[in-house]
Structure 1
């Protein structure tokens, strides 16, 4: 089953761009995912269990590096990625 995830990271610190960029780049490093970013959020597409496992791993990694960070996430059934 395919899944679409919309996720936003809000590091609660003054220098917030580096943690966001690092999180997105780590997600992009997984060949199992399609990752599309924009100025408001990042969209992740892939197989349900795999995508959630990877996002969970990378969220935990972010929290270990930046303890004061909030994630907002929407999870939708199916691959709703834009046609390219």
Structure 2
């Protein structure tokens, strides 16, 4: 099953841009995912189990590395990238 996710990350820090860039760079290390970024959010497309596993791992890593962060996500079944 395919899934599309729109995700926005809001680190609760003054210097927030490096935290956001780090998260996006880690998502882009997975060639099995299609990752599209704009100034408002990042969209991730791929197999449901792969997308969820990658998001889980990287969201946890962000919490552990940077502390308080807000993630806002929308999950839609199907691949809306096409």
Task: Using structure 2 for the length normalisation, give the TM-score.
Answer: 0.97
CA distance in 2, matches of 1:6, 1:24: 12
Aligned to 2:13: 13
Q: Unaligned stretches of 5+ in structure 2?
A: none
Aligned residue-pair number: 82
CA distance in 1, matches of 2:9, 2:66: 11
Question: Aligned-residue CA RMSD in angstroms?
Answer: 0.6
CA distance in 2, matches of 1:29, 1:8: 18
Q: Secondary structure at the match of 1:8?
A: strand
CA distance in 2, matches of 1:31, 1:51: 11
> Is 2:26 the partner of 1:4?
no
Task: Using structure 1 for the length normalisation, give the TM-score.
Answer: 0.95
- Could you list the structure 1 runs, at least 4 aligned residues long, displaced by more than 6 angstroms after superposition: none
> Is 2:24 the partner of 1:24?
yes
